[in-house]
């Protein structure tokens, strides 16, 4: 069962409204000790938005708390179903980076929605993290891209099906 965890709704019909689905991944990881023991915690995006003093309406719904390497075809089917049936047209999906491209490809073909996946190489709770920058880039992409599925990482917006993660360089790259 999905859990709504945050809402910011002014009631202004002209304000941008974003639905955020959280799947877990590094962006929401909580580390417990120097041995890198971790679990995936509550979605951290609400705190990011609070600190950024955002001026749009959003709802956050946690779909799962998984490292993306543990995600299954059933998980991707659930994500696709929830996004397909969501009333909002602007969808932000926080996701682990290892299999983000697979989930993006599984979402291709959903019409009339701008769907942007983002994550981070380091947890959002860390003092030095790429999470905040990636989330900001994702919100910009939601406002400027036509309907479709995109990945925002490392200051770039990639089209689903035309991107890969380069583990050695710790970044995402466009494919041919």
Q: Give the DSSP letter of residue 15.
A: S
Q: What is the pLDDT of residues 130-143, one digit of tens each?
A: 888 999 999 999 99
Q: Which residue has the higher pLDDT, 12 or 76?
A: 76
Q: What is the pLDDT of residues 20-68, one digit of tens each?
A: 999 877 766 555 555 555 555 566 787 778 878 888 889 999 898 888 8
In 3D space, the residue among 153, 147, 156 whose CA is nearest the CA of residue 167 turns out to be 153
Q: At what angle do helices 131-144 and 45-52 cross, to 10 degrees?
A: 80
The CATH number of the domain holding residue 62 is 3.40.50.1170
Angle at 28 between CA 168 and CA 158, to 5 degrees: 50
Report the domain count for the chain.
1
The whole domain housing 127 covers 3-174
By CB atoms closer than 10 A (0-12, 13-18, 19+), residue 169 is exposed
Of the chain, the end-to-end C-alpha distance in Å amounts to 39
- 22 alpha-carbon distance from chain centroid: 6
């Amino acid at each position: 069962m999905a859990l709504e965890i945050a809402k910011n709704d002014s009631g202004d019909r002209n304000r941008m409204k974003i639905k955020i689905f959280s799947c877990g991944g590094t962006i929401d990881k909580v580390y417990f000790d120097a041995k890198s023991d971790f679990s995936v915690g509550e979605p951290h995006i609400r705190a990011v938005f609070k600190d950024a003093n955002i001026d749009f309406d959003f709802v956050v719904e946690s779909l799962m708390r998984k490292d993306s390497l543990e995600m299954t075809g059933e998980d991707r089917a659930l994500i696709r179903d929830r996004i397909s049936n969501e009333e909002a047209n602007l969808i932000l999906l926080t996701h682990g980076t290892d299999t983000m491209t697979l989930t993006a490809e599984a979402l291709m073909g959903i019409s009339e929605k701008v769907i942007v996946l983002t994550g981070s190489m380091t947890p959002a709770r860390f003092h030095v993290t790429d999470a905040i920058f990636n989330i900001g880039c994702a919100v910009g992409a939601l406002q400027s891209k036509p309907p479709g599925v995109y990945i925002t990482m490392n200051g770039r917006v990639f089209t689903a099906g035309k991107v890969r993660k380069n583990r050695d360089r710790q970044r995402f790259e466009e494919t041919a």
